[in-house]
Amino acid sequence: MELQAVLMAAGGGSRMPDLTYNTPKPMLPVGNKPLMWHPLNLLERVGFEEVIVITTKEVQKMMSTDPKMKDVKMKLDVVCIQEDGDMGTADALRHIQQKIKTDVLVVSCDLITDVALHEVVDLFRAHNATLAMLMSKAHDFTETVPGQKGKKKTGEQRDFVGVDQSGKRLLFMANEADLEDGLSIRKSIMRKHPRMHIKTGLVDAHLYCLKKAVVDFLADNKSISSIRGELLPYLVRKQFSKTTNCPKSKDDADDQTQKTADGSTNSTELLICSRDEPLLQLAQERSCWNDHRGDMSEAYHGGKLRCYVHIMDQGLCYRVNTLAAYIEANRLASKLLEEPAVHPSAVISERCQMGPDSIIGAQCQVADKTSIKRSTIGNSTTVKEKVKVTNSIIMHGVTIEEGCNIHGCVICSNAVIGRGADLKYCLVGNGQQIEAEAERTNEVIVGTDQLMEI
Amino acid sequence: MAESGVTDGLCNTDDIERSKTEGKELTKEEKQRLRKEKKQQKKNKEKNDEKTSHEGEKKKNKKKKEEQPAGSASQPPAQPSPKAVPAPAPPPPAAAAVPVPASEAPAPADKPAKSKADLKAERRARQEAERASKGKKGDVGQPAPTGKLKAPPSELQPVVKRLPEHVQVDNPEVVKKLAKKLERQQIPLRSDYGYKVSLFSHLHQYSRKAPLTQQLGIPSTVIHPAIVRLGLQYSQGIVAGSNARSVALLHAFQQVIRDYTTPPNEELSRDLVNKLKPYISFLNQCRPLSASMGNAIKYIKKEISNIPSQCKEEEAKIKLLNCIERYINEKIVLAAKAIAKYSIEKISDGDVILVYGCSSLVNHILCEAFEKKRKFRVIVVDSRPRLEGREALRRLVQKGISCTYVLISAVSYILPEVSKVFLGAHALLANGYVMSRVGTSQIALVAKAFNVPVLVCCETYKFCERVQTDSFVSNELDDPDDLIVTRKGKTQLEHWQKVPSLGLLNLVYDVTPPDFVDLVITDLGMIPCTSVPVVLRVKNVDQ
């Protein structure tokens, strides 16, 4: 088998607490499908037949009941972990190390993209790389986010990504938070790659192809707990470190382990460097190809550990981990899905005005004289007469009474909007009730007391 | 019977010629006699087959005697069944020729005597008619009903070899056949790209931006991952050069063999060969196979089929892996050493050696010679779009050899300085022609004009039984977009597809005639170019 897919669906959604305090992030509806359905759909389309899903018990329960998840024809091997949030993505990989038999493709549950996956995997295959990842040019979110007070903060720490001239080889990766004294690049890198492009406006899609040796390395190095935060920068740095380019024979490895303090890490570091078999070496020697020119070194500068990145400049790629991203993703979900926008079981009266880019879920009831534009309406939602819904996301089981005017809102499941309410840019939490004739603008309405089951 | 046939034939030739000159249509009798004559000529050649064909005819005779009373009407329909016994498909003229009693009043009298001869002649005529109508597809086997009649037609008919499909891309039937074959093997078909120059429209032209993996599922199950990786490396040019490609191919096959398990009720020797066929088609789609790869594949297939059936799977696998190792060691590594040894004798101090492009073997030779303390300098000639000479330059300079670098356009300028030309080869053809990177024949030509000796270095495993006298018939077309270059921010050829009268041609190989090559250095020794068929023959005998 070539690749095993692993879906990380245990994340808490810490950056959008208002949405996720009742519904776990992987099950948030986007385009009326749970969020984790989208990466699973991508994997299924490409040809995977089995996926290992790492998630929490709560999500697993919800998965088994959700009808949309039953559409997924792949075999899902669900591994449950504790929800206390101490487990990072690398810890999760270490947890399932026994199940990993070949190279892995790690995907995050909040990735919505239409990338041609073969571009990433081809880099991984062709160059015998240790890591291949996907990044995308960040799009500015234009929609107004409910509950946002004041201008958009640029609090998001920037990522600095350095690539070589071809734009494929990953040379440098660091987050602004780690660069207190400024960005410093080692001379060895500059000698090997004199031209480096450093990009900051990129979004990491959290889609990684990793060699099996990396997973084994993780098993031995328990200090690494996050793939994105720790493992990746480590691998990128290790490409140019002296030990990896040194001898490949086992005897030397033993010598090195005796010399250094933490002997265990050294030998495992050498594990990751893809130890090319002698025939492959011979083929590379005889081949008249080089990945760079201008200096005296052979292809890849003789380095065994190589990291590659595929940067998408066209197409959709969203990480739904903030409210703004969530709204944007819902807006574009209709483009991604092949299903008809209006579910066949929805009851829609003829005098309803519906825009073309709205999605109506199953078993909805939409009464007369309503106007639904650029919105997503979840399953089993009731919309009474004379309601105007624009630019909003309405989740499942919501009741909207007559005469309401909802603009740019996110209304979570099982909420009830009273008659004649006028909501602009609000976020109504799960199971909340908005009283009649209420006028709210730019507010987040969540309940602190017990939630009501409708 | 034979004599009677001969005498009859002699009498009747005059009649036949007369009728021919008169422009009349030959009667059926005359046609029969013509056929008899032809048959006699053939009979003179094959005395062995007479006895065997006699038996066949006796059978036919019996059937014929049964047929005759049945009547003419039933003759044509009855034809298929008796004919099926030893005979080929009965086409109408032959069926009609088989005695239709009405028209052949004089014939029945001779019938018993002539029938055997007639039958044979008719059969041969039928075969020839079929062959003529089918044209060049050369179905030599099909008309021959049994093994008995196989020898005569094939000896006389010119043996028409089937054209390989990769040089018949402009023939829609061949393309359809290929598509069907690939579909059966579950391999995606790679579509051609861009306008092809008319002289080369019979070859495939692919784009590097449309890799075959686009149409494959991601964890590739149909094709072994090592083969997918290899195909990608071929199509992207990461593994380039005849030796490198062969070594990488054999390495991938080693991995395939390691991961192989014999399905139940199958034999390893047969099943593994069948498993390799779709992989080879896949690699062919990624990049057309080279001659050296073809020879390596033939060797592997032979080794696999020679595995005795009682051999256990583990043993068989180990045996095969060792075979591969041995092959690479003998044919590539040791051959390179042997060639280097011979070549060093030819390099004297003070030499100025010209090399073209990046040939792994020539680089190896020069590095070895430098280590053996020969004093020489090298001129590296390079050409667009591949610019492989830069890599050769790097390797030589890294060793410490003093080099000069020119482009091929300057070759006539630099040649007066040169004392020897060393060229690498992609393959050596059976008629002594050298197939190598495009530009090699130019270098050889100019060197000949300047009376500079040209030495071609080639391992014997690259010797190919193909015969080619020009570079058009069989070649490889690389991605035409490689020719596009950006200078000072301007890309002139960017929209070449929109100009209707413009075609970009990126040839990969060309053939050099043996008159321009003075010596071929192989691991068997130093031979002239015309001795290649001898080597091939000796190799075949050995195998």
Written as one string, the DSSP assignment of B255-306 is: HHHHT--PPTT--HHHHHHHHHHHHHHHHHHHSPPPHHHHHHHHHHHHHHHT
Angle between helices B335-346 and B360-371 (to 10 degrees): 60
Least trusted range by pLDDT, from A347-361, B368-382, B499-513: A347-361
pLDDT at A381: 86
Neighbours of A165 (CB within 10 A): 13
Name the more confident of B390 and B26: B390
Return the closest-CA partner of residue B363 out of B406, B322, B326, B398: B398
Return the closest-CA partner of residue B99 out of B115, B85, B77: B115
CB contact under 8 A, A290 and B239: no
pLDDT at B352: 97
Least trusted range by pLDDT, from A277-281, B149-153, B514-518: B149-153
Q: What ipTM was estimated for this complex?
A: 0.86
Q: Which helix (H) or strand (E) holds A62?
A: helix A57-65
Least trusted range by pLDDT, from A169-183, B59-73, B245-259: B59-73
A243 confidence band (pLDDT: 50, 70, 90)? low
The DSSP symbol for A435 reads: P
Angle between helices B242-258 and B291-305 (to 10 degrees): 30
DSSP string, B177-216: HHHHHHHHTT-PPPPP-SPPPGGGTTS-B--TTS-GGGGS
DSSP string, B14-62: HHHHHHHHHTPPPPHHHHHHHHHHHHHHHHHH-SHHHHHHHHHHHHHHH
Q: What is the largest CA-CA distance in chain A?
A: 81
Nearest CA in chain B to A128: B229
pLDDT at A298: 87
B536 confidence band (pLDDT: 50, 70, 90)? confident
A398, two tokens: 């919501």
Residue B162 confidence (pLDDT) above 80: no
Burial of B210 (0-12, 13-18, 19+ CB in 10 A): middle
- Tell me the backbone φ, ψ of residue A352, rounded to 5 degrees: -100, 135
Residues of B in contact with A280 (CB under 8 A): 248, 251
| Mean pLDDT for the stretch of residues A442-454 | 63
Distance from CA of B483 to the nearest CA of A (A): 18
Residue B60 confidence (pLDDT) above 80: no
Residues of B in contact with A282 (CB under 8 A): 247, 328, 332-333
> Per-residue pLDDT tens for A50-72?
999 998 888 888 888 887 777 78
C-alpha span between A123 and A168 (Å, rounded): 8
Q: Which helix (H) or strand (E) holds A103?
A: strand A103-108
C-alpha span between A63 and A53 (Å, rounded): 11
Residues of A in contact with B244 (CB under 8 A): 283-288
Instruction: Say how many CB pairs under 8 Å bridge A and B.
Output: 106
Q: What distance lies between CA B175 and its chain's CA centroid?
A: 17
**Per CB distance under 8 Å, which residues of A are interface residues toward B?**
1-5, 46-49, 105, 116-118, 121-122, 125-128, 277, 279-280, 282-290, 293, 296
Return the closest-CA partner of residue B289 out of B256, B345, B230, B245: B245
Angstrom distances, CA of residue A416 to CA of A433, B10, B414: 5, 112, 88
pLDDT at A369: 84
Burial of B152 (0-12, 13-18, 19+ CB in 10 A): buried
Residues of A in contact with B233 (CB under 8 A): 126
pLDDT at B170: 84
Residue B459 confidence (pLDDT) above 90: yes
Neighbours of A360 (CB within 10 A): 28
Give the dihedral of Cα atoms A385, A389, A393, A395; nearest 10 deg: 0
Residue A322 confidence (pLDDT) above 80: yes
Residues of B in contact with A127 (CB under 8 A): 238
B391 confidence band (pLDDT: 50, 70, 90)? very high
pLDDT at B54: 55
pLDDT at A421: 86
CB contact under 8 A, A293 and B390: yes
pLDDT at B13: 53
C-alpha span between B302 and B296 (Å, rounded): 10
Residues of B in contact with A166 (CB under 8 A): none
B20 in Cβ contact with B50 (< 8 Å): no
| Mean pLDDT for the stretch of residues B57-80 | 46
pLDDT at A442: 84
Q: What distance lies between CA B29 and its chain's CA centroid?
A: 44
Instruction: Return all residues near A239 (Cβ < 8 A) that are at least 6 apart.
Output: A171, A303, A305, A306, A307
Angstrom distances, CA of residue B429 to CA of A235, A436, B433: 49, 91, 5
> Per-residue pLDDT tens for B464-510?
888 999 999 999 999 999 999 999 999 999 999 999 889 999 999 99
| Mean pLDDT for the stretch of residues A36-42 | 90
> Per-residue pLDDT tens for A132-142?
999 998 877 77
Give the dihedral of Cα atoms B520, B522, B528, B531; nearest 10 deg: -130
pLDDT at B513: 95
CB contact under 8 A, A127 and B219: no
B225 confidence band (pLDDT: 50, 70, 90)? very high
| Mean pLDDT for the stretch of residues A293-300 | 86
Name the more confident of A380 and A85: A380
The 3-state DSSP class for residue A133 equals: strand
A interface test, pick of B238, B242, B257 with most A CB neighbours within 10 Å: B238
**Sign of the dihedral through C-alpha A156, A161, A166, A168:** negative
The Cα angle at residue B293 between residues B291 and B295, in degrees rounded to 5: 70
pLDDT at A360: 83
Distance from CA of A330 to the nearest CA of B (A): 27
Residue B11 confidence (pLDDT) above 50: no
- Tell me the backbone φ, ψ of residue A169, rounded to 5 degrees: -85, 130
Give the dihedral of Cα atoms B55, B59, B62, B68; nearest 10 deg: -120
| B118: contact with A, CB 8 A cutoff | no
Distance from CA of A42 to the nearest CA of B (A): 11
> Per-residue pLDDT tens for A92-139?
899 899 999 999 999 999 899 888 999 999 999 999 999 999 999 887
Name the more confident of A432 and B252: B252
> Which amino acid does the sequence have at B276?
L
B355 in Cβ contact with B379 (< 8 Å): yes
Residue A428 confidence (pLDDT) above 80: yes
The 3-state DSSP class for residue A447 equals: coil
Residue B437 confidence (pLDDT) above 60: yes
A180, two tokens: 């207190």
The rounded mean pLDDT for chain A is 82
C-alpha span between B25 and B31 (Å, rounded): 10
Residues of A in contact with B328 (CB under 8 A): 279, 282
Q: How many CA atoms lie within 13 A of B362 on its CB side?
A: 30
Neighbours of A425 (CB within 10 A): 21
Nearest CA in chain B to A116: B214
| Mean pLDDT for the stretch of residues B457-469 | 91
Residues of B in contact with A274 (CB under 8 A): none
| Mean pLDDT for the stretch of residues A380-389 | 86
C-alpha span between B13 and B182 (Å, rounded): 54
B333, two tokens: 């590594």
CB contact under 8 A, A288 and B241: yes
Distance from CA of A232 to the nearest CA of B (A): 23
Surface of B (250-269) touching A: CB under 8 A: 250-251, 254
Return the closest-CA partner of residue A360 out of A381, A383, A377, A340: A377
> Per-residue pLDDT tens for A224-241?
888 888 899 999 988 888
Neighbours of A144 (CB within 10 A): 16
- Residues facing residue A135 across a β-bridge: A204, A311
B32 in Cβ contact with B121 (< 8 Å): yes
Residues shown for chain A? 454
**Which range scores top for mean pLDDT: A173-187, A268-282, A332-346, B82-96?**
A173-187
CB contact under 8 A, A289 and B391: yes
pTM of structure: 0.79
A142, two tokens: 């234009």
Nearest CA in chain B to A124: B229
Q: What percent of chain A has a predicted confidence (pLDDT) above 70?
A: 88
pLDDT at A86: 73
B232 in Cβ contact with B286 (< 8 Å): yes
Instruction: Return all residues near B374 (Cβ < 8 A) that are at least 6 apart.
Output: B344, B347, B348, B349, B351
Strand duo B420-424 + B486-487: pairing: unpaired
pLDDT at A263: 42
Residues of A in contact with B232 (CB under 8 A): 122, 125-126
> Which amino acid does the sequence have at B162?
R
Residue A429 confidence (pLDDT) above 90: no
Nearest CA in chain A to B395: A296
Residues of B in contact with A293 (CB under 8 A): 390, 394
pLDDT at B330: 93
C-alpha span between B167 and B200 (Å, rounded): 9
CB contact under 8 A, B394 and A46: no
Surface of B (489-508) touching A: CB under 8 A: none
Q: Which helix (H) or strand (E) holds B469?
A: none
B369 in Cβ contact with B355 (< 8 Å): no
B69 confidence band (pLDDT: 50, 70, 90)? very low
Distance from CA of A116 to the nearest CA of B (A): 8
| B323: contact with A, CB 8 A cutoff | no
CB contact under 8 A, A287 and B216: no
A352 confidence band (pLDDT: 50, 70, 90)? confident
